[in-house]
Amino acid sequence: MRGYAAHLEGAINQLGLRRVHLVLHDFGGPSGLAWAAGHPDQIRSLSLINIGVMSGYRWHYLARLWRTPLVGELFMATTTRAGFGMLLKHGNPRGLPKPFVDRMFTHFDAGTRRAVLRLYRATSDLEGAARLFREALGPLNLPVLVLWGARDPYVPVRFAEQQRVVFPRAEIVRFEDSGHWPFADNPAAVAAALLPFLRRQLAAPPS
């Protein structure tokens, strides 16, 4: 995560951004939160999509497979396009658009599969990360929007409400029939919640 946070910092610096509003999802959550924890003078708001400060989180079933030596390699080596598509039907009752799934599988090449295994195996101290984010970001009283597909089998929806422990001002929007990728299976609903929030933050006087 430190490496991904450093990558994000490089992009932000190259773009010359002084005030940053992060929209985060999945592993982008801990990456972005790690950056924000080290840059309290630049972070202005957070939009968290099926991710957040995950105190008490336990790895989902796929992560447990990927973190297991040999088992993870076998899983990656035997994943086919058809199997990948079937896997993504779990926890996505609305269904994911075919072009979205096709693009995901196209990007799921040998290098990406190796990277996934390395990433999951290098990410162990989940509770320590949650504690760091809580201590660093809680006192900032940031505006936070939490968007959550309630049928997510990887990051349970109970963590949506938990974000208010760290971010008391958090606005929470649940999408009851969406899974882990609500921006893909219900983009109109996500946009209807996310865009007004971002517009309000951008209109606020600089601090």
What is the average per-residue pLDDT within 192-196?
98
pLDDT 10s digits, 49-108:
999 999 999 999 999 999 999 999 999 999 999 999 999 999 999 999 999 999 999 999
| In a shared domain, residues 53 and 132 | yes
206 pLDDT above the threshold of 90:
no
| In a shared domain, residues 8 and 76 | no
Take residue 40 and report the two structure tokens written for it. Answer: 């309290």
Domain span at residue 188? 2-59+127-203
pLDDT 10s digits, 114-138:
999 999 999 989 999 999 999 999 9
**Beta pairing partners, 21:** 45
| In a shared domain, residues 22 and 88 | no
| In a shared domain, residues 198 and 148 | yes
Q: Pick from 53, 52, 66, 181: which is nearest to 122 by CA?
A: 66
Distance of CA 23 to the CA centre of its chain: 9
| In a shared domain, residues 55 and 145 | yes
| In a shared domain, residues 15 and 46 | yes
CATH number for the domain spanning 199: value is 3.40.50.1820
The Cα 129–Cα 34 span in angstroms is: 8
What is the average per-residue pLDDT within 26-52?
97
pLDDT above 70 coverage of the chain, percent: 100
Q: What is the pLDDT of residue 207?
A: 66
The Cα 9–Cα 114 span in angstroms is: 24
| In a shared domain, residues 21 and 116 | no
Per the structure, how many domains does the chain have?
A: 2
**Beta pairing partners, 149:** 175
Nearest-10 crossing angle of helices 126-137, 158-166: 40
| In a shared domain, residues 35 and 52 | yes
> Where are any strands of DSSP class E within 50-200?
144-149, 171-175
